[in-house]
Amino acid sequence: MFKLWLLFGCFSLELFFGFSSDLQPQCFKVEDNSCPNSNVTFWFYTKEFPNGRILNPVNLKGIVSRPYPLKVLIHSLSGNQSTTPNLEVRPELLRIPGIDIISVDYANLTPDPCYVESAANIRIVARCLATFLGDLIDRNFVRKDEIHLIGYGLGAHLAAFTANYLEEKHSKVSHITALDPSKALFLTPDLSQRLDPSDAVFVDVIHTDIFVHGILQPVGHVDFYPNKGVVQPNCGPVDDVDTNECYHKRAAEYYAESIFSPVKFWAFRCQNLHHFLTGKCHPSNEVEELGYNTRSTARGTYFLGTNDYPPYARGMNFDNLDRKLEGQTFLPPKVLEKLSTLDEFVNQLTVKI
């Protein structure tokens, strides 16, 4: 079992990112722990400011002036305020009346290929974001029960850390959406070191690349696995690392489409991935909608298929579900066979709600 832990927790650092932090002298762990921090900026978007305005954390007067529900978008490794999930999700959110959007930019602290240092640096970003959100609450610019953190990759765990910091002085964050939360360095039963359901009143998760960038086990109140969370359509050959980057980003694409989808991403409940792959669960009345309109009462693990091209949503169509792994992953057959014994392993890493 320890070998599996190593495989699913660490392989993406060495084999797929192709680097070791010891060989990258330009990589660094931030020493400036002050907030506000010059490495962390906040961009404000509304229908009035569709191109965004950078916020001064010290002087917010005249920029944020109404207590609308707040959506906070948080990028991942080598990202910024214009990349995933901002690129896909923000334009759709801007179509919703009566909400404000903040995109967090900490690009200097998470350069590619400095994954190890980036994973450490998100702690200070989380503290500065929590301080900033706390100021907004104190000044009545936002209601504490209307903050929704939407994090992609590393940003999903950053959202969790932010929520924990914010809870210390204010209250529990109402909602975290995790878009394919990162696996490497976060596959741990220590809940203080990763995203888990206790981080917010409601945590929903979309898994789209569970064998490379994303985490395999459920880490939210409700977890969705489109196309098993393994392979997403029309991304490329399974032995190309760029293909997995496409899988990883697809979580944000599905979420963005879900906001106004007329047919919706309906999914049915399954106990876990193993039960889905082996056909132990089938479409039933236990369904839930993936994405922006997921009910806050949703609990459990859900599976669905998608169309090959946008629009990806298939509604309640559960025909021709692909339950195979052969030929869909770089993993060798012996490892795929071992997956049949993963039930206990996954349960050890999963918080029961």
Q: Who has greater pLDDT, 21 or 171?
A: 171
Question: What is the structure's pLDDT at 18?
Answer: 43
Sketch the domain layout of the chain as residue ranges: 2-348
pLDDT digits (tens, 9 = 90+) for 146-194: 999 999 999 999 999 999 999 998 989 999 999 999 999 999 999 999 9
Q: Is the pLDDT of residue 107 over 70?
A: yes
How does strand 100-105 pair with strand 41-45?
antiparallel
pLDDT band at 337; cut points 50, 70, 90: low
CATH no. of 2-348: 3.40.50.1820
Question: What is the structure's pLDDT at 340?
Answer: 55
- Residue 314's Cβ-side half-sphere holds a number of Cα atoms within 13 Å equal to 17
Q: Give CA–CA dist 74/41, Å, rounded.
A: 11
Mean pLDDT within 287-305: 98
Mean pLDDT within 19-30: 64
Strand partners of residue 214? 182
* Per-chain mean pLDDT for the chain: 88
Q: Is the pLDDT of residue 8 over 50?
A: no
pLDDT band at 339; cut points 50, 70, 90: low
Percent of the chain past pLDDT 70, that is, above it, reads: 85
pLDDT digits (tens, 9 = 90+) for 60-80: 765 655 778 999 999 999 999
Please calculate the CA angle 67-95-268 and round it to the nearest 5 degrees: 100
* The model's pTM: 0.91
Q: Is the pLDDT of residue 16 over 50?
A: no
